[in-house]
């Protein structure tokens, strides 16, 4: 039994006449009658009662008509959904993010824009550190990871750098260094302070760069706490436990308790990337659409006055769409 047999049968049942049904099917009446006879032989019972004015459904034929219509409707729906999935209009997308990446205004903007543009794509969200997100993306449990600096480079993973923003020094309100440095502070001004940093496995590049910058400034930083998330950094600074550095996009957190200052003369320059990671093979159309939209919105964001006014922009620093660094 083929789908065309079901279509032939439904057409004859609707027209109640072989000749009219054949005309609608753009075929001759004898071949149509032969196909219906073959279908009846396969089923083992007659579908129609033939009479001079046309045909009527048998009891079995009436039941079979309902099922045939349901089958054809399901096939049509499957074809439609498959076509939509093939273009990424429907499907699923699992997105993971680190807390510091999610704190950047670009990330909720991307997710919201994707939901609005592709409402039939079911999005699932999860939070994790950069190491876990990389492992999940490599294993296929996560399609998109949004993090700061990559902590590992599993085989088959793509890295798309969306933005670079500078790191700011975070000090508790009332810190003596703030009195003499209203806009920016050199690292030497906090050389005797305890530092609160994200654990090395969570942000090795930014962690290492800060250590090198401190060493270049003539001192070895005293790391008092290593925490899992950058949001915890700021909370501990607000509690007076030390100083820290965070991406400029986090500068509104605990503003009543901490102060944010640009860092003068740091070598190497202290920056925080915003990176999208995903598998580089067997990408779903929904994932391809997400990557394209993320790159487009990141480019727009870099050119907006709002981005320049935050002090987050560092010129047009090599924010290539796909970055191996």
End-to-end CA distance of the chain: 58
Q: How many C-beta atoms surround the C-beta of residue 15 within 10 A?
A: 17
Asked whether the beta carbons of 107 and 38 are under 8 A apart, the reply is no
Q: At 32, list the tokens.
A: 């149509």
Q: Using one digit for the tens of pLDDT, what is the confidence trace for 96-152?
A: 999 889 989 999 999 999 999 999 999 999 998 888 898 899 988 999 999 988 888
Q: Using one digit for the tens of pLDDT, what is the confidence trace for 216-252?
A: 999 999 999 988 888 898 999 999 999 999 999 898 8
**Average pLDDT of the residues in 177-184:** 82
> In sequence order, what DSSP letters do the residues of 128-181 get, joined into one string?
--HHHHHHHHHHTS-SEEEESS-S---TTEEEEEEEEEEEEEEEETT-HHHHH-
pLDDT band at 182 (very low <50, low <70, confident <90, very high): confident
Decide if pLDDT at 312 tops 60.
Answer: no
**Token match 């320049």: residue?**
308
Mean pLDDT of the chain: 86
Domain boundaries, the chain: 3-86, 91-325
What pLDDT sits at residue 183? 85
Three-class DSSP category at 198: strand
Q: At 100, list the tokens.
A: 């510091």
Decide if pLDDT at 321 tops 90.
Answer: no
Give percent of the chain above pLDDT 90.
47
What pLDDT sits at residue 118? 94
Specify the DSSP class assigned to residue 243.
B
Q: Considering only the top CATH level, what class is 91-325? A: alpha beta
Asked whether the beta carbons of 227 and 196 are under 8 A apart, the reply is yes
Angle between helices 29-43 and 3-15 (to 10 degrees): 110
What pLDDT sits at residue 325? 34
CATH code for the structural domain at 3-86: 1.10.10.10
pLDDT band at 202 (very low <50, low <70, confident <90, very high): low
Q: Is the pTM of this model over 0.85?
A: no
**Average pLDDT of the residues in 275-298:** 93
């Amino acid at each position: 039994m083929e789908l065309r047999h079901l279509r032939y049968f439904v057409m004859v049942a609707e027209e109640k006449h072989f000749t009219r049904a054949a005309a609608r099917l753009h075929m001759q009446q004898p071949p149509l009658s032969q196909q219906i006879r073959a279908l009846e032989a396969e089923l083992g019972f007659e579908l129609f009662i033939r009479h001079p004015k046309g045909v009527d459904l048998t009891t079995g034929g009436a039941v079979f008509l309902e099922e045939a219509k349901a089958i054809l409707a399901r096939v049509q729906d499957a074809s439609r959904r498959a076509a939509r999935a093939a273009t990424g209009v429907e499907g699923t997308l699992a997105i993971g993010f680190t807390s510091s990446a999610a704190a950047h205004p670009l990330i909720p903007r991307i997710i919201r824009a994707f939901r609005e543009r592709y409402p039939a794509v079911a999005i699932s969200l999860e939070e994790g550190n950069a190491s876990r997100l990389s492992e999940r993306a490599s294993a296929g449990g996560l399609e998109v990871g949004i993090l700061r600096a990559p902590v590992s480079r599993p085989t088959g993973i793509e890295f798309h750098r969306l933005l670079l923003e500078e790191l700011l020094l975070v000090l508790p309100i009332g810190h003596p260094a703030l009195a003499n440095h209203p806009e920016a502070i050199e690292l030497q001004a906090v050389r005797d302070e305890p530092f609160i940093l994200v654990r090395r496995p969570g942000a090795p590049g930014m962690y290492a760069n800060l250590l090198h910058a401190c060493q270049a400034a003539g001192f070895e930083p005293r790391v008092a706490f290593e925490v899992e998330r950058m949001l915890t950094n700021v909370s501990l600074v607000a509690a007076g436990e030390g100083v820290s550095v965070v991406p400029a996009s986090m500068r509104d957190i605990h503003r009543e308790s901490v102060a944010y200052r640009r860092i003068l003369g740091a070598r190497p320059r202290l920056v925080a990337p915003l990176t999208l990671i995903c598998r580089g093979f067997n990408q779903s159309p929904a994932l391809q659409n997400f990557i394209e939209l993320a790159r487009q919105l990141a480019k727009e964001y870099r050119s907006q006055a709002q981005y320049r006014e935050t002090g987050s922009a560092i010129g047009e620093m090599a924010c290539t769409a796909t970055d191996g660094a």
